[in-house]
Structure 1
Amino acid sequence: DVLFELNESSLTDAADETLRAVAEEIDASSATIVQIDGHTDNTGNDAINNPLSLDRAKAVEKRLKELITRGGITFEVAGHGSSEPVADNDTEEGRAKNRRVTITFAK
Structure 2
Amino acid sequence: MVTEQNDKKARAKKRVEELKGFYIHSAVYVVVNLFIMVVSVVVRMNEGESFAEAFFNLGILVTPFFWGLGLAFHALKVFSLSPIFGKEWEERQIRKFMEEDRREAEKYRDQ
TM-score of the pair, normalised by structure 2: 0.25
Larger RCO (CA under 8 A, 6+ residues apart) = 1
Q: Which has the higher strand share?
A: 1
TM-score of the pair, normalised by structure 1: 0.25
